[in-house]
Amino acid sequence: MKIAINAISATAGGARTYLLNLARVLPSLVSHKYLLYVPSSATADLSGLPSNFRAVSVPWAEHRYLTRLVWEQFVLPRQVRRWGADVLVCVGNFCPLRSPVPVVLLSRNPTYFTPRYLADLLERGHYAWALRHLAQIRLALWSARAARLTITPTAAMGD
């Protein structure tokens, strides 16, 4: 089986730690072929992976949100199809809305589903951030619907 993993959002913090742990453990569990899309800054941390695991640096990952969105929605599906992946795992709350293969989505950021966060942005007058957040809420919901399976850290977040 060929498994593509979209981890371009793992640029810092917990997402970066999650990515590094996933990349080190996953190849040893099952002998599938893995293709991991990562931010350019993460490739140095991924040296020494088994031969069935390949990391591809995605320079678009460290650009503006809109650039990453374009890559994820239009470029990623073509690359997944070209590689012949059987499944796409997306670890960053969003996935292509039209994927050529089944998608497993990891939705781990409850901020998109917390009304208080949006209210706080509006109260502080961050209207541009609030608009972006509204767009991200919509995309997170559409992504959950587009995925074959959405995994959340808690049942409450899943609800």
Express each pLDDT in 24-58 by its tens digit.
Answer: 777 677 678 889 898 877 777 777 777 788 888 88
Encoded amino acid at 130, one letter? A
pLDDT at 59: 82
DSSP 72: I
- Please report how the helices 127-146 and 115-123 are oriented relative to each other, as an axis angle in degrees rounded to 10: 160
Q: Could you tell me the two tokens for 66?
A: 């809109």
- Cα(82)–Cα(21) distance, integer angstroms: 27
Query: Side-chain half-sphere of 53: how many Cα atoms within 13 Å?
Result: 20
- Cα(39)–Cα(61) distance, integer angstroms: 5
Mean pLDDT of 67-76: 92
- Cα(40)–Cα(76) distance, integer angstroms: 16
Q: Is the pTM value of this prediction over 0.75? A: yes
